[in-house]
């Protein structure tokens, strides 16, 4: 039983360290969105968001199963996918 307690304590300590690291990198709660925030605000599906993560298109922070997207990661994603539109004889072209 003591061995299980020590293993649990070690795992909790690691989670705490990871969480503290995440918190130290975040300036405020508005800077941090979770999957639901991205899906709601950007109107994308959960599958699309998972594909972006898998392809390395958007950076994120993960602690266990919880995923967060810091503001700088969201801004970087948007800048990398910015499409400049030019008008050509009244028609928009990208």
Mean pLDDT calculated for residue range 48-74: 94
Q: What was the pLDDT predicted at 25?
A: 67
For residue range 11-22, list pLDDT tens digits in order: 999 988 888 877
Q: What was the pLDDT predicted at 29?
A: 57
How would DSSP label each residue in the chain? -HHHHHHHHHHHHHHHHHHHHHHHH-S-GGGEEEHHHHHHHHT--HHHHHHHHHTTSS--EEETTEEEEEHHHHHHHHHHT----EEETTEEE-
């Amino acid at each position: 039983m003591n061995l299980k307690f020590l293993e649990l304590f070690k795992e909790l300590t690691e989670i705490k360290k990871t969480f503290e690291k995440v918190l130290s990198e975040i300036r405020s709660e508005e800077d941090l969105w979770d999957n639901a925030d991205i899906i709601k605000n950007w109107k994308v599906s959960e599958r699309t968001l998972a594909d972006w993560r898998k392809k390395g298109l958007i950076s994120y922070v993960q602690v266990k199963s919880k995923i967060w997207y810091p503001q700088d990661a969201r801004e970087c994603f948007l800048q990398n996918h910015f499409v400049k539109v030019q008008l050509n004889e009244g028609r928009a072209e990208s």
